[in-house]
Amino acid sequence: MARSTAMKAAGLILALLIFTFFSLAASSSNNQIQILNAERRIDLSSHIVKVFLTLKVENVGTSPASEIFLAFPPSQADQLALVKAQAAIGKKKKKSYVHLDVNPTQLPDAPNGTKYFSISLLNPLSSGETATLEVLYILTHSLEPFPAEISQLESQLVYFRDSALMLSPYHIKQQTTFIKTPSTKVESFTRVEPTKFAGRELKYGPYEDRPPYSFSPVIVHLENNSPFAVVEELLREVEISHWGNLQITEHYKLVHAGARHKGVFSRVDYQSRASVKGASSFKHLLASLPPRVHSVYYRDEIGNISSSHLRTDYRKSELEIEPRYPLFGGWKATFVIGYGLPLEDFLFESPDGKRYLNFSFGCPLAQTVVNKLTIKVVLPEGSKDPSAAVPYPVEQRLETKYSYLDVVGRTVLVLEKKNVVPEHITPFQVYYTFKPIFMLAEPLMLASVYFLFFMACVAYLQIDISIRK
């Protein structure tokens, strides 16, 4: 089944290749740039595929170029979680990197639904100049388990599909691709000469002088027993209390996204040699939390889960959690992690009098992919004008939540993002205005209720409502 789809894909790509030769002339606008050297390092050691791309580009055209385009086949574009680019400035000794903006774009003559990202250069590349760009992009769900179902004793094999030649709208003079595998065990790989496999590295290339949109599909079938921990849905609720606490509640829906477990789960086998008999499973997860974390809990809908350890030091806290049972392929688990943080570490006042929360975006669990991340920032009751500054495109909306003794409700800023990887963990800000007098609303309310209660008691004791004296 999977093989036939691979064949189909190959056929498709062949057609694409032929098509690209014809369309060469059309993409005249891209002709002014060529890539002198492209080096691709694909890291397959976990289920999150990281690709480091080093491009040396040259402007061979006449007019200065301010943008460099990256091309991705449509299948990969869906799996793309993050694209980052930076430019190297200076010579070898004093090399420093400058972050560049990357935005998805469309090109009018995109063959076969190719998706593009444009890297905006800091200074337009004038004619004849060269620049070195470093690109990192991350693919998720791009390792397909094959066989799709394995038993407890088998280890997990996956397919990785890519092209030996980099898809690019530019002419590439020389390119090499290195694929790093998690173990030496590689079942098979497509050969596109020159191809070399040594140790834990598979090398494709170098290939010289390839025209734009060259494509040469390869399939690598390799062993990968790293935990395929995927959080299908993560809801992080950040509740600000101006009494000094930041309460975070995180609801996880975890799944093992590797090859599905089939048949027997034998505890005897698992306990005797878990590393061999149950290699594809995982039972530990590591969450890195901010320092000074307190009142941490880890539970699910039926109660506390006792298997967790918290280590704290002054820089960070680490929470090691174990789901109730080891997770095999396809097994799911849900749990909640909650903790409190001192507010002064995260809430600041901006010069214009607004307050802002500075908190980290993304999932605190190491080495996990989040399919859908929702962050709810619950502002204190009475706060106004919420706005968020997030480094990535996210969906935003506002909600109202009623918590302890609320009357008007708390404004909740909801941020949603799909396909989140650990590299997304960067700070984001939520700005709002808040008058401290609102802090006293609830204590005053309680006090007045008590007062009224005692008044009622006094009144009841003083009033004689009997008819007969």
Partner 1 sequence: MADGESSREATARTLRNAFGNVFSFFILLLIGILAFSIRLFSVIKYESVIHEFDPYFNYRVTQFLTKNGIYDFWNWFDDRTWYPLGRVIGGTVYPGLTLTAGTLWWLLNSLNIPLSVETVCVFTAPIFSAFASWATYLLTKEVKGTGAGLTAAVLLAMVPSYISRSVAGSYDNEAVAIFALIFTFYLYIKTLNTGSLFYATLNALAYFYMVCSWGGYTFIINLIPMHVLLCIVTGRYSSRLYIAYAPLVVLGTLLAALVPVVGFNAVMTSEHFASFLVFIIIHVVALVYHVKGNLSPRMFKVAVTLVVSVGLVVCCAMIAVLIALVASSPTKGWSGRSLSLLDPTYASKYIPIIASVSEHQPPTWPSYFMDINVLAFLVPAGIIACFLPLSDASSFVVLYIVTAVYFSGVMVRLMLVFAPAACIMSGIALSEAFNVLTRSIKFQLPGSSGISQSGDTSMNTEGEQNDIAKTEKMDETAKERPSKKNKRKEKEPVVKASIRSRIERRLLVLPLEASVIAIILLVLLGAFYVKVACKVDAALNVHASTLEKSSRVGRWKLVHCVWAAAEAYSAPSIVLTTYSREGGLHVFDDFREAYAWLSHNTEVDDKVASWWDYGYQTTAMANRTVIVDNNTWNNTHIATVGTAMSSPEKAAWEIFNSLDVKYVLVVFGGLVGYPSDDINKFLWMVRIGGGVFPHIKEPDYLRDGQYRIDSQATPTMLNCLMYKLSYYRFVETDGKAFDRVRQTEIGKKYFKLTHFEEVFTTHHWMVRIYKLKPPKNRIRGKTKKSKSKASSTSSPKRSGTGKRNPWH
How many whole angstroms separate alpha carbon 181 and alpha carbon 49? 11
Q: How far is CA 389 from the centre of its chain?
A: 18
* Binding test (CB under 8 A) with partner 1, winner from 144, 232, 233, 406: 406
Q: Is 151 a residue that touches partner 1 (CB under 8 A)?
A: yes
Nearer to partner 1, 134 or 442 (CB): 442
Please report, as a single letter, which amino acid is at residue 371. N
Q: Is 147 a residue that touches partner 1 (CB under 8 A)?
A: no
Structure tokens at 247: 């309460």
Q: Is 300 a residue that touches partner 1 (CB under 8 A)?
A: yes
The reply to whether omega before 427 is within 30° of 0 (cis) is no
Residue 161 — φ and ψ, nearest 5°?
-115, 130
What beta strand segments (E) does 195-344 contain?
Answer: 195-198, 201-210, 217-223, 229-241, 245-256, 260-261, 285-289, 294-300, 303-304, 308-312, 317-321, 332-342
| Least distance CB 386 / partner 1 (angstroms) | 21
* Binding test (CB under 8 A) with partner 1, winner from 153, 235, 336, 439: 153
| Least distance CB 330 / partner 1 (angstroms) | 8
| Least distance CB 47 / partner 1 (angstroms) | 20
How many whole angstroms separate alpha carbon 365 and alpha carbon 287? 4
Which residues inside 319-378 make contact with partner 1, applying CB under 8 A? 324-325, 330-334
How many whole angstroms separate alpha carbon 44 and alpha carbon 226? 10
Structure tokens at 412: 């909740």
Nearer to partner 1, 303 or 436 (CB): 303
Span interacting with partner 1, options 42-50, 124-132, 173-181, 305-313, rule CB under 8 A:
305-313
* Binding test (CB under 8 A) with partner 1, winner from 123, 130, 396, 403: 403
Q: Are strands 149-150 and 260-261 parallel, antiparallel or unpaired?
A: parallel
Q: How many alpha carbons fall within 13 Å on the CB side of residue 267?
A: 1
Q: Is 103 helix (H, G, I), strand (E, B) or coil?
A: strand
Q: 48 - beta bridge partners?
A: none
Which residues inside 219-278 make contact with partner 1, applying CB under 8 A? 263-268, 271-272
How many whole angstroms separate alpha carbon 56 and alpha carbon 34? 9
Span interacting with partner 1, options 7-15, 37-45, 298-306, 384-392, rule CB under 8 A:
298-306
| Least distance CB 395 / partner 1 (angstroms) | 25
User: Residues touching partner 1: how many (CB under 8 A)?
Assistant: 34
Residue 326 DSSP one-character state: P
How many whole angstroms separate alpha carbon 47 and alpha carbon 229? 8
| Least distance CB 381 / partner 1 (angstroms) | 10
Q: Is 304 a residue that touches partner 1 (CB under 8 A)?
A: yes
* Binding test (CB under 8 A) with partner 1, winner from 59, 152, 163, 226: 152
Nearer to partner 1, 75 or 334 (CB): 334
Nearer to partner 1, 18 or 407 (CB): 407
| Least distance CB 238 / partner 1 (angstroms) | 16
How many whole angstroms separate alpha carbon 368 and alpha carbon 233? 12
Span interacting with partner 1, options 88-96, 152-160, 186-194, 356-364, rule CB under 8 A:
152-160
Q: Which residue carries 């008691």 as its tokens?
A: 457
| Least distance CB 289 / partner 1 (angstroms) | 21
Question: Using an 8 Å Cβ cutoff, are 327 and 224 in contact?
Answer: no
Q: Are strands 245-256 and 260-261 parallel, antiparallel or unpaired?
A: unpaired
Under the rule (CB under 8 A), what is the footprint of partner 1? 151-154, 263-268, 271-272, 299-300, 302-307, 324-325, 330-334, 402-407, 466
